[in-house]
Amino acid sequence: MKLQKYAQAVKDCTKAIELDDKYLKAYIRRAQSYEATEKFDEALADFKKILELDPDHKEARQATIRLPPLIEEKNEKLKTEMLGKLKDLGNMILKPFGLSTENFQMEQDPVSKGYKINFKQ
């Protein structure tokens, strides 16, 4: 299915679920569409709901095992990307002063779990 068809499937299934919140087939299709579009958090929530409605549903049981590592991986990628963008922004602000984010080091205090920032040239 193409992206548009997945988006339409999500809309249709959501409407069906609003009309009947125990409509298992709508949850299944919506969860599959979410997973296909890499919306893993939403897919996992739907698969968990499927297990509430049908505890023996094989695909949902497998998905609740398969999806958490994918969610973690996606979150790590987003975190890395966001830190890179923040670093670029920091460098842009510090450049007029002859500094960069490389001049600052963050260290975590093992006792308090807080962070301290050290300046180095």
Q: Which residue has the higher pLDDT, 52 or 2?
A: 52
For residue 115, give the H/E element and its range.
Answer: strand 115-119
Considering the entire predicted model, what is its pTM? 0.73
pLDDT tens digits for range 34-73: 999 999 999 999 999 999 999 999 999 999 999 999 999 9
Average pLDDT, the chain: 92
User: How far apart are the C-alpha atoms of 42 and 52, rounded to whole Å?
Assistant: 16
CATH topology of domain 3-90: 1.25.40
CA geometry: angle 66, 18, 40, nearest 5 deg: 20
Rg, C-alpha atoms of the chain:
22
What letter would DSSP give residue 37?
T
Instruction: Sort residue 61 into left (φ over 0), alpha (ψ -120 to 50) or beta.
Output: alpha
